[in-house]
Structure 1
Amino acid sequence: MRGIRRHMLVLAGVFLLAAGYLASRFVFGELASAQPKTMVFIPKTIDQRIEFWQVMKQGVFAAAKEYNVDVQVLGTETESDVDGQIRLLETTIKAKPKAIIFAANDYQRLAPVAQKAVQTGIKLITVDSGVKDVASTSFIATDNYAAGLKAGKAIGGRMENGDAVAIISFVKGSATAMEREQGVRDSFKDRSGVQLLDTYYCDASEEKAYEITKRLLQSEPRIRGIIGLNEPSAVGAAKAVRDLSSRVKLVGFDSSMDEIALIEDGVIQATIVQKPFNMGYLAVETAMKAWRGETASPTIDTGSEVITVDNMYEKENQKLLFPFVEK
């Protein structure tokens, strides 16, 4: 575990100068006047503790540098602030940027304002999570249903008849959350001896996931498996399992530094790793193609991999686990 952490620090050092240059080219927090080649990136949250969005931002920056595009990053403090994201998108539309790269916090509630962006002629690239009935220029994401199937099979293979499995999700109404949960539940259709319990929502808060998991483990002795459907839910659940010295098996999503350490320590048995850097890079590239009148693929699946302690040291998986994250 210590060797892995040292490796991460070395990687961070290698890219430090490049990061400083990139950071000087972008505007954060407040929407500046849109210029001819300006894009706005709106992730689900700007909380820097959630590494998934930091890695996606680096992908956006890398492509923006290559294509000579100015990018403004805007976002709410939490993924559960749907009202705040609606207001933010409304404000962004009024500034008339050439493109908006957008990860919706709610599949239905963000639809009307997202449709407004499309109707005004802005190139809308949706990433990670889509919105209902909105014809964005392109949707770039993990196949979250398939990823949910992978997570369900990873935990299901570790369960015996009579065991129960709990799902810790993040924000109710998020397309990503719904698709992953459906994949998990469908993976258990042929496992009648294992019970899937209700889904519990932590609002993408590690602290809430921790408290939910503690209560579940103390009140439901049949639980032998937990699936955390994103980074905060997985880390919070894993820390509760560790602190209670529980023998519960756990499968998560993503690959934060905490998750990697918890895999090495045997607390998390597997994690479904996405490719957020690729999502960010391809979003900018796709927007540029649309500007030039080129055909953009309506859907791009960036893929996911199941990472365990047995395969995490393989070369290709190391690239997934240790992307550069600017703090």
Structure 2
Amino acid sequence: MTKRTKLLSMALSTLLIMGTFAGCGTKKAAEGGKKIGMVVSTLNNPFFVSMKEGAEKKAKELGYEIVVLDSQNDAAKERSNVEDLVQQGIVTLIINPTDSDAVTNSIKVANDNKIKVITVDRKASGGEVTCHVASDNVKGGEMAAEFILEKLNGKGNLVELQGIPGASATRDRGKGFHNIVDKKAGVKVVSSQAADFDRQKGLNVTENIIQATPAFDAIFAHNDEMALGAAKAAKAANKKVIIVGFDGNADAKAAVASGELAATIAQKPDLMGSVAVENAIKIAKGETVAKEIPVELQLIKK
């Protein structure tokens, strides 16, 4: 082999190697262009598990990869999750906030990296959000109040179990509830306490309320987990009380059927996850989406 031939052979080998690496990079970029990130406040709640499953099903159907991370109701973990997803090269971020105020820092991480953000179920107080997907929580709170007042013939003492302080779902569901009950002369909210959307806390808080303020007729819990905890506390105290939850998860529907709960305002978390993914993909493709996208509610009663 001549010196010239050797040089040509070496040059050709170098070009082939470079082409191989370039091809890998192109493939990686293409794969990254079809990856959506999703950060969920907690997966220790059937509602958010259903939301995750709806999102994963829709992403698979549309040919996109989705990476779902659990914030464990911790704002610091939430931010860490967003930073992790940014490093993975996501094209759009879907986030279900742990707290509407605290999530601002996480959203700004995405904003700084030019990644569009969709919030789902709970709103964010700050940061640039392209789209919000949620049930009409104010309307749902009103539906719960109207049902309770109908059952009580328009008068009675009520208890409210609030969700996580600062979460938009807590504010909105409470607002809807008070929009109705505060206007009724014969109705009084005798206790309104946070139980953080948690079943065990719902049980503990209700036990304390029964001891401190035994004279009440109904409980509105901002989610089903707290409602189920409250139902257990009421049963243990042998107290007959109307209990209404919010979300429509499987345990709550079964509790309505058995009479442990009077009703639940049913959301469709799987549909919320699906709709969020559909719009995340539209955003990634440069399409315009609505600023707010409502998902319908349903009153489930026996």
TM-score bracket for the superposition, by shorter chain length? 0.7 to 0.9
The answer to whether the aligner puts 1:64 opposite 2:56 as a matched pair is no
1:28-78, CA deviations, whole angstroms, 9 ceiling, x for partnerless residues? xxxxxx82211111111021xx2211211121112111211111110133x
Match of 2:184 in 1: 191
Count of matched residue positions in the alignment of Structure 1 and Structure 2: 272
Distance 1:147 1:222 in 2: 26
Q: Classify the secondary structure of the residue corresponding to 1:307.
A: strand
Identity of aligned residues (%): 27
- The structure whose RCO (Cα within 8 Å, separation 6+) is larger is 1
- Of Structure 1 and Structure 2, the greater helix share is in 2
Match of 2:196 in 1: 203
Q: CA deviation at 1:95?
A: 3.5
Q: Map of 1:46-85 to 2, 5 A cutoff?
A: 46-47=43-44, 50-77=45-72, 79=73, 81-85=74-78
Q: Classify the secondary structure of the residue corresponding to 1:157.
A: helix
Match of 1:126 in 2: 119
Structure 2 residue ranges without an equivalent (≥5): 1-30
Moved more, 225-234 or 113-122: 113-122
Q: CA deviation at 1:198?
A: 3.9
Distance 2:153 2:101 in 1: 38
Match of 2:41 in 1: 44
1:66-103, CA deviations, whole angstroms, 9 ceiling, x for partnerless residues? 211111110133x3x22322332233334341111100
Q: CA deviation at 1:108?
A: 1.0
Q: Map of 1:235-274 to 2, 5 A cutoff?
A: 235-274=228-267
Change (3 A) 1:183 1:161: closer
Q: CA deviation at 1:160?
A: 5.4
1:197-225, CA deviations, whole angstroms, 9 ceiling, x for partnerless residues? 34211222211110111121122122111
Distance 1:212 1:265 in 2: 23
Moved more, 112-121 or 266-275: 112-121
The answer to whether the aligner puts 1:111 opposite 2:104 as a matched pair is yes
8 Å contact from structure 2 (residues 135, 296) kept in 1 = yes
Distance 1:106 1:96 in 2: 25
Distance 1:261 1:232 in 2: 13
Using the size of structure 1 for normalisation, the TM-score is 0.79
Q: Classify the secondary structure of the residue corresponding to 1:121.
A: coil
Q: Classify the secondary structure of the residue corresponding to 1:131.
A: coil
Match of 1:312 in 2: none
1:279-317, CA deviations, whole angstroms, 9 ceiling, x for partnerless residues? 1111111111112221111110001111101xxxxxxxx
Distance 1:287 1:170 in 2: 27
Match of 1:181 in 2: 174
Match of 2:223 in 1: 230
Change (3 A) 1:223 1:298: same
Match of 1:168 in 2: 161
**Which residue, 270, 281, 285 being the options, matches 1:288?**
281
Distance 1:134 1:151 in 2: 31
> Is the radius of gyration larger for structure 1 or structure 2?
2
1:237-291, CA deviations, whole angstroms, 9 ceiling, x for partnerless residues? 1111222221111110122332122212212111100011111111111111112
8 Å contact from structure 1 (residues 56, 276) kept in 2 = yes
Q: CA deviation at 1:169?
A: 1.7
8 Å contact from structure 1 (residues 159, 194) kept in 2 = no
Change (3 A) 1:294 1:264: same
User: Partner letter of residue 238 of structure 1?
Assistant: A
8 Å contact from structure 2 (residues 82, 109) kept in 1 = no
Structure 1 residue ranges without an equivalent (≥5): 1-33, 310-327
The answer to whether the aligner puts 1:221 opposite 2:218 as a matched pair is no
8 Å contact from structure 1 (residues 289, 296) kept in 2 = yes
Q: CA deviation at 1:112?
A: 2.7
Distance 2:154 2:177 in 1: 17
User: Partner letter of residue 61 of structure 1?
Assistant: E
Q: CA deviation at 1:161?
A: 6.8
Distance 2:236 2:255 in 1: 12
1:111-135, CA deviations, whole angstroms, 9 ceiling, x for partnerless residues? 1331331232112111001101333
